[in-house]
Amino acid sequence: MDLVVGLHYVRDVTFAEDASRTRTVSGPRIMESLRNLAITVLRRAGHSNIAEGLRWASYNFDHPLSLLGIAR
């Protein structure tokens, strides 16, 4: 699977990007960048299933901070 096609698939299925109502000015590009950041950080942390990685990150406030290296 092509990397760009795969990334769009993950963003669309996991984040429901095509259903997003962010449509003005630079909002869509900013949201795309934030979603790409989340996917990249989770993949680098070893999560091959992004939805599972997002659930893991949501269980504890320190989980996403530890992925970014800014845990308290």
pTM of the predicted structure, to 2 decimals: 0.78
d(CA 72, CA 60): 12
Domain holding 7, by residue range, is 3-68
* Lowest mean pLDDT across 3-7, 10-14, 55-59: 3-7
CB atoms within 10 A of CB 46: 7
pLDDT in tens, 28-52: 889 888 989 999 999 999 998 999 9
Number of domains, the chain: 1
